[in-house]
Amino acid sequence: MAEFKVVVADPETGETFQREVDGQDANRFLGRELGDEIGGDAVGLPEHTIELTGGSDETGRPMREDVSGTRLKELLLEGGVGFEPSREGERKRITVRGREVDDDIAQINASVVDGDGDVAAALGEGDDADE
């Protein structure tokens, strides 16, 4: 059975919220690709729509939008997702994962793209929860 940690970003406030999803909620992510929009009810946001923006597998390999499927692939990178060069012109061969979500993914990054209401309040982490 699939199990993911979903990190939901609220672009309006700049806050992020982590949710563990498993069972039927996790199955909603299987087979989806980066850039897909799904209903937020899988992470406790029934009034919102979220977009899959990234993720990583259990070993920390990042998902890349330009690699198809769920496969692992070695890329020679000059920068971007998976490698941040420390000097100009530096390149490095990095193993990355494809853009499709499967059972090997441990974390999924998502961003709220549409919806009514406060995301923090909907997730139970608003100002009232801190007091």
What percent of the chain clears pLDDT 90, i.e. is strictly above it?
55
Query: What residue ranges do the domains of the chain occupy?
Result: 3-114
Query: What's the rounded Cα separation, in Å, for the pair 81 and 84?
Result: 8
Query: What's the rounded Cα separation, in Å, for the pair 35 and 63?
Result: 12
Q: What is the structure's pLDDT at 51? A: 94
What percent of the chain clears pLDDT 70, i.e. is strictly above it?
95
pTM of the model: 0.85
Q: What is the structure's pLDDT at 13? A: 86
Exposure string for 97-112, b = 16+ CB within 10 A, e = fewer: bbbbbbeebebbbbbb
pLDDT digits (tens, 9 = 90+) for 55-112: 999 999 999 999 999 999 999 999 888 888 999 999 999 999 999 999 999 999 999 9
